[in-house]
Homo-oligomer: A and B are copies of this chain.
Amino acid sequence: MNDRLSAQMGFLLEADRLKSVLRATTLADGSRVENSGEHSWHLALYAMVLRDQAAPGVNIDRVMRMLILHDLVEIDVGDVPIHSANGAAHGSAEVLAAERAAADRIFGLLPPDLGSEFRALWEEFEAAESPDAVFAKSLDRVQPVMQNLASGGGTWVTYGVTADQLESRVGVKVARGAPTLWAWVQEKTTAWFAAR
Contact = CB atoms under 8 A, between A and B. Distances in A.
Interface of A: 2, 4-6, 8-9, 11-13, 15-20, 27-29, 31, 34-35, 37-38, 40-42, 44-46, 48-50, 52-53, 61, 64-65, 68-69, 110, 114, 118, 146-147, 150, 180-181, 184
A110 to B, nearest CB: 7
A5 B180 contact: yes
Copies in the complex: 2
B5 A184 contact: yes
Given A150-B13, A181-B5, A41 B37 contact: yes
Contacts of A37: 37-38, 41-42
A44 B42 contact: no
Say what secondary structure dominates the interface of chain A. Answer: helix
A16 B42 contact: yes
B184 A46 contact: no
Nearest to A16: B28
A12 B50 CA distance: 10
Contact of A48 (B5, B49, B65, B150): B65
B184 A50 contact: no
A85 B107 CA distance: 40
A8 B138 CA distance: 16
B19 A45 contact: no
Contacts of A4: 52
Ranked 3 nearest A-B pairs via Cβ: A41-B41, A37-B38, A61-B61
Contact of A27 (B6, B16, B29, B44): B16
Nearest to A44: B68
A184 B9 contact: yes
Most B CB contacts (10 A, CB to CB) among A11, A41, A53, A147 go to A41
